[in-house]
Structures are given as structure tokens and as C-alpha cells.
Structure 1
Amino acid sequence: MAGQEDLQELLRMFTSRKVPMMAAMGHVKALQKEGLRSIEQLSKAALKTIEAAVGDAKLAKNLHTACKKHETTKKRALDDDDDASALASSPPAKKAKLLQPHKRDLDYVSMTADELETSLTLPLVEDEATIRETTVVTNRAPLLLAFAVELLRFTMPEQPPSSRLSLAQAVVSANSKAKARNLGIGQAADDDNQIPEGQPTVRVLGRDVPVLKRGDYTWTSDEKTEVVKVTTPAAETTTTSTGASETTRTWSAGQRLTSKSSTFVAHAATLTSPAQRPALMRQLMTSKPSLETATHNAWAMRARYGTSPLVQEASFDDGETGCGEFMLRAMREADVSDTVVVLSRWFGGVMLGPDRWRLMRECVDDALSCRNKTTVKLAGEAVWALDPSSKEMAIHRPEGARNYLLRSFVSGAEGGKKTSKSDDVDCLGRLLGALRLLFASWAGVLNRTQLDSRAWSWYMAIRPEVEAGPAGWGAKGPVRLARICDLARRGEGG
């Protein structure tokens, strides 16, 4: 078990630094041969040993520094636990504060699953009369976060609270970035291209969220049996829609790499006959018109004749000298056939020298590895939502999302007076109670896909009104919880 966790942590260290999965697995094997099987061992190892195993001085130094930082964080968390134990043994002088762990305080490896989930508990008020009397003041992002967290309790009940917080934060982050770009106040970078298209995803509030399975993570809670209220057809509909997305995806894309203003990206597709290549490439260019603007669109193809061991090969450089044959060699080494790969390059005006081959190889390897990834079918496995903007740990951490919720809702009945933290927590509990009442009332009628779709329209209906354009960015407004309760489905006689 520990060995499997160490392997996953090492792979995550590499992939969070934009190393393709196939290359990351090779690096991990090389490190294991040197007796380096965990982050702790890497943090104590000599840098030269890591460089010799990885074969990349820059990557080795980056990895070594990250492992040392990880171990320092782990020790700090253990020291904090000792301090907490000492405080717990003394009589409490004040009312205990609601636990608000900073991301430095939680070390997922040292905590048991139940300890982690307990530390992420959120307040809840279920009395409808109390909820209806409440008005909270907030901005749109934390309200969307609360919507997503409670929605996932019904659409993905198999996910532990930590995973729901992670997934919900991913939705809010993607929504905020898209909104900022639309308003002209965000970066124009194409964040979607930082994650390969073949990465496993789940759908939350109409957005596809890239995820990473958490291995053998298991948790125990009364909530698991309490929340499975969605009708049986929901599971069938979810599986069907997931399968449909798999069959319609033809091309898989690797990561987009940039060096000295030159950008590379590779796409791979499976074919059953060499004659399919022209049609497949036309489909790719039609679905992604931006590829037509590339300086070069080189391609390589390897296809078998039925059960014959013979393989037909063909390639085209499109002005990128040697690229076609280079891709064929990479496909031979990976023993890949019945596949066509298209490598696109936008030339930045600066010659790259030998580094050009490294970039092309990483793009091709990543695109080929993505062919084996499909939209994830959850069968009880816990997941993390991937965060492409994070360089330290490429996941959306749940404690950050929880803390954001705890501090983002204040009472609207105090006439602008400053409220205490306990009042803010109570406001959050009432909001979550209203959302749970809403989703529970519809869970037995709508399947999971329908509930996810309907939830977005409910959010749009009750979100605070703010000024249009950049002036309204981050602005707060009142939200009457009675409006959420009014959206709940009443019984036959209600």
C-alpha cells in the first residue's frame, strides 16, 4: 500500500512539472533502480544521484527542491499536531474555533482518510423556517462553490467531501478565468491546452473537469449511505453519456509546449486503413481551425494489413525538416501501429537547434500516451481535480476551498455592521442547508445528468445582482435564502 502511494506521489511530482506520463514512468523506474522510491528518500539523496538517474539537470534540481520542500511541510504539520495535542490536554480557556487548516497544515500522506475528511467538515443548518428568514451577502464565486459542493453530494455520492471540495473549486476556477477573459481583465492564455484532451474528466455544472484518481483511497462515513437518493435511471444516464463522449472523440492531443516563442502540439488518432488518413486530417483541421495557422503541420502514419505482420509507413515534413521520419522512429520504438500523428509548429522566429528534437519527441510521446486515456467512469474511486496553473501540486486542494466558503458569507440583516466569525459560519450553514433542501427535493425525480444541468439554471436565478462589465467583478450583493427554498419541489399535496 505504502509503495503504491509513493509511486503515485512520484508520478504526480513529475506530471505536475509538465513531464508526459510515459516519460515520468521512465524517470521513476530509473530512480527506483538507484534505490530512490519515495519523496522522503529523494529529499535526502544527493543531487548528482538524481541527475544521473533522470538525465536532465534542470528537472533533477527542480524535483530535488520540491521534495525537500514537501518534507519540510510534513515536519511542520507534525510539529503543529504535537502543539495541538498539548493544548488539548490543558483546560480550554475559550470556545474552540472551527478548524480552518491552511494548505501547509494538511499532509495527505500522514493523515488517515477519516482524519482528512473530518478536518474538512462544513457547518449545516437544516431548519427551513430559520433558513427562510436569512439573507446573506456574498459575491458570485463562493456562491457557485457552495452550489457545486452540495450538488456533488447528490450527483457523485461516492466521492468523499475532500474530493467534492476539490472538484467544486476546479469549476469555480475555470468559470472565473473564462469570465475574466470575456471582460478583458484576465490573461489570454489558453489554459485548456495545458491538460491533454485525453485526460480523464468528470462533468460538473456543465464543465468537464480533468481528474486524477486517488488510488486505493477509502473513507467511512454515515453520509455515504444517507446521500444515495438519486433514482436508478440516473446511473444509467450518466454511464450512457460518458460512453457517448468516448466514441465521438477521434483525436487525442498532447500538451502544448513553447520554447523561444515557438509552440509545438501533437495530435494522434487511430485508423483501420491507410486510406482513412486524409479524411481524419480534414476532420482535425475542421474541428480545430487554429491548426491551419501553424507554420508546419507534419504527419506520420503506421498501419497494418489485417493480421499481417507487415506495416505500411508514410510521413510528410511540411517544411519541418526531418520531422516525419523522426515521428515514425518514435512510433516504431513505442511499437505503435494503426495510428496517425500530426505535429503542428508555430515558428517563433528563433532557431531552436537540438532542443527542437526534444520538444517534438515530448509532444509525440504525450499524444500517443493520451490515446489510452478515456473519460473516467467512476465506480467508487475517489478523485482529485487537476489544477493546470499549479506547479507545486497539480490538484485543487480542498482545504483552500473550505476556508474560502467559511469566510465568504455574512448576514445581510445587520445593516453593514461587522459580523463575527461564528455568525459567518452560521450563514454558510444556512446556505448549505437551503441548497441541500433544494437538491434533495429533486434528486428522486431528476437523474444525475438532469440535476447537474438544472443546478446551473438555479444558480443563475439566485446569484447576486452586480453591475455589468469589469465594474461588477468581485462585487457583492444580497442573496435571500427563501428564494432557494422556493425552488424546491413540493410533494403531491404541497
Structure 2
Amino acid sequence: MSAQQDLQELLRLLTVGRKTPMLQAMAQIKSLQAVDIRSIRQIAEAPLDTIKSALNDEKTAKSLQNACKAAMKRTATGAGTKRGASSTANSPSKRLKQDDNPLMPSRLPGEELTPQELEASLELPLCQDEELISQTVLETNRAPLVLAFAVELLRYTRPEQPLSSRLSLGQAVVSANSRSKAVSIGLASKGPNPEDEGLIGSGQPRVKIMGREVPVLKRGGYEWREPSPSQTITAESSSTEPAQSSTSQPQQAPPKTKTHPFFQPPPSASDIHWSSSGAPLTSKDSRFLGHSTKITSPSQEKLLLSNLFKTHPNLESATHNAWAYRVRSPTISNRVIEKSFDDGESGAGEFMLKILREMDIDDSLVVMARWYGGTMLGPDRWRLMRSVVTSALNERSRRTATGDELQEGGEAVWGLDVEGMSKSGSGSSTGTAGKREGYGTGVVGMQIHKPEVARNYLLRSFHTASPSSGTEGSSSPPKTTTKTKKTQKQLEAEREQNLGLLLGALRLLFDSWKDHLTPAELDKRAWAWYTAVRPDVEAGPGGWGAKGRLGLGRILGLRR
């Protein structure tokens, strides 16, 4: 087991098994690490006096060691699992509910996981044993199969996306497909577009996955890969370089240290680029328009605003020009300088600051202009403000510093939960405005599909099919078996194993085609492959959410 997995298991034992508060658990782990004890096994096998000296509490030390010994005993007792156990041994052995999982960011008050820790906590099982796969028949409904297809497909079509993003995007595909299906069979009406409802901005980036377009939110510099050892140059390695000969090229002077943007001279007019929310939004003769640009120091405030009114003189006639900005301090870690101005539109400045916080955007200035139409709009004004502000910010995120369009690829993204925003009344002034909920956001931000929710959905959705109807595709009569009721723990382990086999089958399928199809072609084929193997259910509303049989051997049959 890796050091990271050891840490995760120990943290889980402390916070879930022993109900230790997170901050206290982290303090205990650091104390144990100081005496070179880093895992449950090491605690179980270490002398009690060593643990006592680390924790400074005999009762706590003894209780913790007993808990670790019990955990080791349970692990040893449950080691002899059935088929596929060796292939899934490195995956988490028990699915935790989202609210009970201490590895998820929403469960870490005051603490944040590193990207590497987050990705490790979302690890999925995988088994590529073709013999086991070909013999396996599962029982499931169609939605989790779409999710499994999408998550595995994205490894090939969008390799820049980490597992957390692939889970979020996959769930967005499931949501989009479910909405479309519900409309087609008459269970739901089509309804207005998310842009028309003000749930997302008109310039919101979208990606196409398995033929479905889903809106996404960029994750702002999320770095999830560890640096390659070959890219790390140490002082020792550089000192072993051979000396340059007298005939070699003269060594260039080291580059000058780049000044932090906070301290650089103010930008010239040609370096200022404003992004617009597009055409003004109108309601009862009131018009709303948003603009956004880069700001790296509070000293640039007046210059940038003056530039905006000079380049967009029509804004001078607006009744209100409220603005807000956030600038990250170069000298104090994690400190952000914020400022806002209502310009007579009560609460608008703070409202825009909340949007910037929820979207986790720094070094940005956003201006919201309103031409008052003579009629009070009530709560609807917040929806209109939010729409133009997010549209302006999203438009800017799609462009480079020179105002050119960004090329797609390379950035980690979240899949936006449009349905969740609609149900929560996102865009109104009521409810939990400004409240963060895990990865999602409240009214002033954007809700995303949470990766841990998608992961848990996969882990609980694939049951072993009953043998009562025989092997799928076989005309032979079913075998008579004695049915033994399984415990909840056994069922969870079985479903996890089944997921590993399904993902293994999909991995083998995509591997066989990856060198013969472009990513776009692979994406198109994926939906056809899904429809070829999906469970057969009753057509129309009667089959909505119904389960059917899924023979994994059929997936292997689609290989090139």
C-alpha cells in the first residue's frame, strides 16, 4: 500500500471509525508521523510507549492501538475474496456515503486536499481479466452504464481531464441524456433553455461527449499531475555537469527575475481588453450589461474604469455602473484584496463579489451597467445581474490576454449541474445565497456535478444478475442453486468488483480502437457501442429506470 493510501486509511479510521474531529485527527497523525509512524499497521505493531510519547495521552494511545489491531484483524479475515479480488485489491474496499467520507473536500473544515490527494480518494476499481469479464452478467439500469461509458471514454478523448473532472463530466452526460429521454417519452416538457432562464451565461463553454453537449466550468489552474522526475533539476545533478570547453558557446546570463504583476507599471490602453456579456438583457424596460477585464493591482482601478467608459461611451448614460474586483496579494499567502461599488444599485457590488468568490476568480474586474426602466424588478434583478456578470466573466475566460479565442484542451473542467441550479432556484435572491455546498455553489455561483456523488453512483449500481434466467444469450436451462442471503458488506464488495469488471471491459474496448480512430470518431462510436450493449427494458414510460441484464462479454465482442 502506498504512503498516500496509508494516510487515507488512517484518516478514515480516526474520523469515521473513532468519530475524532477532523482537526484533532490531523493533529494526531502529525504527532505520529514525528516518530515515524504512518499507517494503521505501524500503530498496531509499535510499542505502546512509543505511541504514548507521540500523543501524550496513555488512554488515547491504548484505545487507538486497539482500534488499529482490530482493523488489521478484520482485514486479515476478509482477505480471501472471490473472483477478481486480486484485481481490485488496490481500490477502496468499502463504499462510504458522501457525508461520511473524510477524504472529500466537503468534509474537511479548514483543510483542503491537494489535487493528488483528491484524485487518489476517487480511485475506481479495475479488472481486465478477459475470462472473468466474458463470464459476467450484471443487472443494472441504463443511466449508470452511460456514466461508466463516459468516464472511461474521456480517458482517451480528453486525457487532460483528471478523474474528478471525468466523473463530473460523465454525470453531466447522464443528466443531459435523462432530460432528453424524459421529454421524448412524455414524462417532462421541453422547457426553456438554461440561457433563457438565466441559469448560465450565453457564453458558457460547452463540450460534446457521446453526442451530448454539456456546459462546463473551468477549474482555474488545477494541477493534478506530479512533476516528472526528469523535469526536476537538483543542485547535485547540475554540479556534475562537465565544464564547458573554451571552444563552446559562451554561457548566457541567467534571466532576470520577473516582477510580480502586482508591482508592474499600469497597462497601456492597447493592453486593456474588455469582455462583454453580449446584447443587453431587458426586463420591464430595464437593461443590464456586463463587462470584465484583468486587474492585477488596486492601483489600476481608476485607469481601467476610465478606459471602459472611454472605449464604451454608451455606458455613461447608464443609471448605475456598479463594479467589483478581487486581486491576489503577492506578499501574503492566500490573501485576496477585494473592493466593490454599488453606484446606487443597492447590494450590487457585494453581490458581484460573491459571484467572483464562488467562481473562484481572482485578478478580475467586473462592471455591471443598468439602465433603469421606471419599474421596480424585485428579486428578478438578481437573476439578470448574475446572468450578465457570469456571461462577461465566462467570455473573458475563453480569451487570451490579447483578446484572441482560446484553443480547446489542456484545462481541467467541471460539468455544470443545470438541473440542480433550476431546482434550487439559482438566480433568485432567496434561499442559500452565497453558501458553498461542497464543490457546488449557491445562488450566486454555479452548481457542478460532484465527482464523489458520481463515483458512489457507480459503486452501488452494478449487481450480479440472478442465475434464474440462465446466462445471457444462452438457450440452456438455468442451473439450480441454493440461494444464500448475503450481508450488506458482501453485497457492497460484489458491486465494487462488478464495477471493476465493467470498467475493465470498457478499457479493453477503447484500447483496441484508440490507434485507429481520432478522438472525435471514438466519441461518436461510443454512443453506438453503448446502445448495442445496454440492457433491454420496456419501451416508453414503463421502462423508465427499469433494470435489465448486461453481459460484459458483449462489450468485448465490439473490439477491433
TM-score bracket for this pair, using the shorter chain length: 0.5 to 0.7
Is this contact kept in 2: 1:268–1:368, CA < 8 A? yes
Counterpart residue identity of residue 512, structure 2:
S
Counterpart in the other structure of 2:152: 150
Task: Choose from 137, 142, 155 the match for 1:135.
Answer: 137
| Residues in 1 aligned to 2:467 and 2:452: alpha-carbon distance in whole angstroms | 29
1:354 shift after superposition: 6.9
| Residues in 2 aligned to 1:77 and 1:404: alpha-carbon distance in whole angstroms | 25
Number of aligned residue pairs: give it. Answer: 331
1:452 lines up with 2:447 in the alignment: no
Task: Choose from 391, 412, 415 the match for 1:382.
Answer: 412
Q: 1:138 to 1:373 in 2, by over 3 A?
A: same
Counterpart in the other structure of 1:98: 93
Counterpart residue identity of residue 218, structure 1:
W
| Residues in 2 aligned to 1:328 and 1:138: alpha-carbon distance in whole angstroms | 55
Identity of aligned residues (%): 39
Which of 100-109 and 213-222 deviates more?
213-222
| Residues in 1 aligned to 2:407 and 2:125: alpha-carbon distance in whole angstroms | 30
1:251-262 residue pairs with structure 2 within 5 A?
A: none
TM-score by length of 2: 0.50
Task: Choose from 161, 177, 190 the match for 1:175.
Answer: 177
1:402 lines up with 2:402 in the alignment: no
Counterpart residue identity of residue 224, structure 2:
T
Counterpart in the other structure of 1:208: 214
Counterpart in the other structure of 2:549: 478
1:12-411 residue pairs with structure 2 within 5 A?
A: 77-78=22-23, 86=64, 87-88=67-68, 90=70, 91-93=72-74, 94-95=77-78, 98-104=93-99, 105=101, 106-108=103-105, 109-186=111-188, 189-190=191-192, 192-193=194-195, 194-206=199-211, 207-220=213-226, 313=314, 325-326=317-318, 352=376, 361-374=385-398, 377=407, 380-388=410-418, 389=420, 392=437, 393=440, 394-411=447-464
Query: What is the DSSP-based 3-state SS (H/G/I as helix, E as strand, rest coil) of the residue aligned with 1:92?
Result: helix
Gaps of 5+ in 1: 1-73, 223-249, 270-308, 315-323, 334-340, 346-350, 490-494
Gaps of 5+ in 2: 1-18, 30-38, 41-63, 80-91, 106-110, 229-274, 292-309, 324-342, 344-368, 399-404, 425-436, 441-446, 470-482
1:369 shift after superposition: 3.9
| Residues in 2 aligned to 1:480 and 1:221: alpha-carbon distance in whole angstroms | 40
Give the helix-richer structure, 1 or 2: 1
Q: 1:371 to 1:380 in 2, by over 3 A?
A: closer
1:488 lines up with 2:550 in the alignment: no
Q: 1:446 to 1:221 in 2, by over 3 A?
A: farther
| Residues in 2 aligned to 1:257 and 1:177: alpha-carbon distance in whole angstroms | 28
Query: What is the DSSP-based 3-state SS (H/G/I as helix, E as strand, rest coil) of the residue aligned with 2:138?
Result: strand
Render the CA deviation track for 1:434-478: whole Å, top value 9, x for unaligned: 111111111101111111111111111211111112111100111
Counterpart in the other structure of 2:239: none
Which of 143-152 and 206-215 deviates more?
206-215
Q: 1:355 to 1:172 in 2, by over 3 A?
A: closer
Query: What is the DSSP-based 3-state SS (H/G/I as helix, E as strand, rest coil) of the residue aligned with 1:211?
Result: strand
Q: 1:364 to 1:158 in 2, by over 3 A?
A: closer
1:204 shift after superposition: 1.7
Query: What is the DSSP-based 3-state SS (H/G/I as helix, E as strand, rest coil) of the residue aligned with 1:157?
Result: coil
Q: 1:311 to 1:136 in 2, by over 3 A?
A: closer
Which of 454-463 and 415-424 deviates more?
415-424
| Residues in 2 aligned to 1:384 and 1:367: alpha-carbon distance in whole angstroms | 17
Render the CA deviation track for 1:390-427: whole Å, top value 9, x for unaligned: 56312211111111111111122533866622222222
Larger Rg, first or second structure (1 or 2): 2
Counterpart residue identity of residue 465, structure 1:
D
Query: What is the DSSP-based 3-state SS (H/G/I as helix, E as strand, rest coil) of the residue aligned with 1:175?
Result: helix
Superposed CA RMSD in Å reads: 4.6
Is this contact kept in 2: 1:123–1:425, CA < 8 A? yes
